[in-house]
Structure 1
Amino acid sequence: MKKSIAGVDIPDGAVAQAATDLTQRMESELMFHHAQRAFLFGALTGYRENLRFDAELLYVGAMFHNAGLNARYQRSPYRFEVDGANAAREFLKQHAVAEHGIAEVWMAIALHTTPGIPEHLSPLVALISAGVQMDARGARYDEFTAQQRDEIVQAYPRESGFKKKLIEAYARGMEHRPATTFGTVNADVLDRWDPNYRRLNFCGMVLGSDWPN
């Protein structure tokens, strides 16, 4: 019987199950539950706004959206979002998912921390961002009913101290590649986490460039 939470059916096909098994092994329980809640909040947003989307691809995108924070990527030169997007792409290729679906999931993960862009793209891209932002910072919190929020948190709990632990998880996944945070919300994370971190400043880069004027 299909599992349903807050009126959302959890995808249980072969691809979704494989994504669940892989990310559950790869991530802490805190981050795995965050991914599950992100899917549910994203799906509910899609229902509320009457958007058409592939629930299984939304699920895979949510499962992989923080994969790039894994310790295996600590020496990566890329933004963690790109590492996660690449991991999802390789996973979906192994399961013979259509190229357009793979590209959409890649875009959704790569842009999920870039405010102001995802909502103007496809429903899948918009909903991954919406689900993550709701669970991470309470974006559009009051647009969900108390019952919906309670059911989701009961199924996939926000453990004690979740807010600070989430910031720590992001910071530890990026502290070895601080330059990748330029121009993203990730700079806020390292600014709070690492007293030695210094933000790159776009204006400073323009004024300090090799151009003579």
Structure 2
Amino acid sequence: MPAPFSETFPETPAATAALAVATRFCPPALLNHSIRAYLWGAGYARAHGIGFDDELYYVSSLLHDIGLTETFDSHAVPFEEAGGRLAWVFGMAAGWSPERSARAEEIVVVHMRDPVAASEDPESHLLQVATSWDVSGQRPGEFPADARAAVLARHPRLGFGAEFIAAFEEQTRRKPGCAAACSVTEGIGARIAANPLDA
């Protein structure tokens, strides 16, 4: 079994395709964030003995913010819902069942919703933990200094914090009732600025 925060990825056709999609459409900082989200979540799961579907979690991690990109941003639909629908389309095109494709959609949407327990939905729980850590520095004690250094060396932040808050502020301007707007109202900008990953 790999170490908790080791650089290992699923090797399936769907995983390879998800990386290709994210690489093409996500700017470099957002792509690295998506890869880090997988690594943080998978490492957290191994450290806590949480069983999860590795391929499903990887694909969902790679696509979870694709609704923020220029190509897939929706002027009417919250970014996580737009990204979730794309994840469903991706899953179907990859030959997944409708049920598995719907799980990818659910995970992408739920990462912007109220916290869920690992016992209830492990993949959504992992994506929530991983993205809240990578975006705004929550649960720093779960991510040891050596793991932080190793992940950031391979997948640097590239000004991610500033780029991300700008994207959320733009979502807020166009979709004032969305989850991103609530995050801005609740002070996510200050939390992003204080993220220990940018120290």
TM-score range, shorter chain: 0.7 to 0.9
Answering whether residue 52 of structure 2 is matched by residue 35 of structure 1, we say no
Contact residue 5 and residue 42 of structure 2 kept, 8 A: no
- Tell me whether 1:110 sits opposite 2:105 in the alignment: no
2:167 counterpart of 1:179: no
Output the CA distance in 2 between the equivalents of 1:75 and 1:145: 37
Distance (whole Å) between structure 2 residues aligned to residue 180 and residue 25 of structure 1:
29
Cα distance in 2 for residues equivalent to 1:94 and 1:39: 22
Cα distance 1:111–1:50, how it changes in 2: closer, same or farther (>3 A)? Answer: same
What SS does structure 2 have at the residue aligned with 1:179?
coil
Instruction: Report how far residue 179 of structure 1 moved.
Output: 3.3
Question: Structure 2: which 5+ residue stretches go unaligned?
Answer: 189-199
Q: Structure 1 residues 49, 71: closer, same or farther in 2, change over 3 A?
A: same
Distance 1:118 1:31, change over 3 A: farther
Percentage of pairs with the same residue: 24
Deviation at residue 73 of structure 1 after TM alignment: 4.3
Shift of 1:66: 0.5
After the TM superposition, list the runs of 4 or more consecutive aligned residues in structure 1 that deviate by more than 4 angstroms.
190-193
Where does 1:150-189 land on structure 2 (aligned, <5 Å)? 150-159=149-158, 161-172=159-170, 174-175=171-172, 177-181=174-178, 184-189=179-184
Determine if the alignment matches structure 1 residue 127 to structure 2 residue 111.
Answer: no
Equivalent residues of 1:38, 1:128 under 8 A apart: yes
* Structure 1 vs Structure 2 CA RMSD: 2.4
Contact 1:75/1:176, CA 8 A, preserved across alignment: no
Instruction: Kindly indicate whether the alpha-carbon contact (under 8 Å) linking 1:5 and 1:152 is maintained by their aligned counterparts in 2.
Output: no
- Partner of 1:24, secondary structure, is helix
Report the structure number with the largest CA radius of gyration.
1
* Equivalent residue, structure 1, for 2:67: 68
8 A Cα contact 1:178 1:190, kept in partner: no
Provide TM-score, normalisation by structure 1.
0.78
Pick which of 184-193 and 64-73 moved more: 184-193
Give a deviation string over 1:154-202, Cα, whole Å, max 9, x none.
110012x432222113333x15632342xx3533437889xxxxxxxxx
Q: 1:66 to 1:87 in 2, by over 3 A?
A: same
Asked if structure 1 preserves the Cα contact closer than 8 Å seen for 2:73 and 2:82, the reply is no
TM superposition shift of 1:51: 1.2
